[in-house]
Structure 1
Amino acid sequence: MRLVVGITGATGAIIGVRTLEVLAGLADLAGIPVETHLVISRWGRATITTETDRSVRDVQALADVAYDDADQFAAIASGSHPMDGMLIAPCSMRTLAAVRAGLGDTLLTRAADVTLKERRRLVVVAREAPLSRIHLENMLALTDAGAVVLPPMLAFYGQPGSLADLVDHVVHRALDQFGIAVPGADRWNGLGVRQPERNNHHALR
Structure 2
Amino acid sequence: MGGPSASDNYAGVYEGRLQPGSRPALLIVDVVVAYLTEGSALFMETAAAAKDANRRLALAARAAGVPVVFTNVQYKPDGSDGGVFYRKAPVLKAFVEGSPLGAFPDDLTPQPGDRVFTKQYPSAFFGTDLANALHADGIDTLLITGYSTSGCVRASALDAMQYGFVPLVVREACADRHPAPHEANLFDLQAKYAEVISEAEALAVIAAHPA
Q: TM-score, normalised by structure 1?
A: 0.50
Share of identical aligned residues, percent? 15
CA 1:62–1:15: 2 relative to 1, 3 Å: farther
Amino acid in the other structure paired with 2:118: D
- CA apart distance, 1:47: 8.5
Equivalent position of 1:74 in the other structure: 129
Aligned equivalent of 1:166: none
The answer to whether the Cα contact below 8 Å between 1:7 and 1:91 also exists between their aligned partners in 2 is: yes
> Which structure 1 residue ranges, 5 or more long, are not aligned?
27-32, 152-169, 183-202
1:65-120 Cα distance to aligned partner (Å, 9 max, x none) = 22113372313268865422222333423426x72xxxx5xxxx3xx333222251
Q: Hey, what does 2:207 align to over in structure 1?
A: 181
Counterpart of 1:25 in structure 2: which amino acid?
A: A
Give the superposition deviation at 1:62. 5.1
Kindly tell me: are residues 64 and 119 of structure 1, through their superposed partners in 2, closer, same or farther at Cα, counting changes over 3 Å?
closer
Residues 27-176 of structure 1 mapped to structure 2, 5 A cutoff: 33-41=65-73, 46=101, 53-54=106-107, 59-61=109-111, 63-70=113-120, 72-76=127-131, 82-95=138-151, 99=154, 104=155, 109=156, 112-117=157-162, 118=164, 120-125=166-171, 126-128=174-176, 131-132=179-180, 134-150=181-197, 170=199, 172-176=200-204
Conservation of the 8 A alpha-carbon contact between 1:24 and 1:62: no
- Residue 156 of structure 1 corresponds to none
Q: What CA deviation, in whole Å up to 9, does each residue of 1:12-70 have, x standing for no partner?
A: 323223322221112xxxxxx32222223568984875xx543x7xx112553221133
Q: Report the CA distance shift for 1:78/1:20 in structure 2 as closer, same or farther (over 3 A).
A: closer
Partner SS for 2:119: coil
Contact 2:119/2:128, CA 8 A, preserved across alignment: no
Q: CA deviation at 1:128?
A: 4.9
Secondary structure of the corresponding residue to residue 181 of structure 1: helix
- Superposition misfits of 4+ residues, deviation over 6 angstroms: 42-45
Change (3 A) 1:77 1:113: farther
After superposition, the Cα gap between the structure-2 partners of 1:7 and 1:46, relative to the gap in structure 1 and judged at 3 Å, is: farther
For residues 129-155 of structure 1, the C-alpha deviation after alignment (integer angstroms, 9 at most, x for no partner) is 8632x443322221112422246xxxx
- Look up the SS of the partner of 1:83 in the other structure: coil
Aligned-pair RMSD on alpha carbons?
3.8
- Once residues 146 and 139 of structure 2 are traced to their aligned partners in structure 1, the CA distance between those partners, rounded to angstroms, is 20
Q: How many residues align?
A: 140
Unpaired stretches in structure 2, ≥5 consecutive residues: 1-22, 36-43, 75-93, 121-125
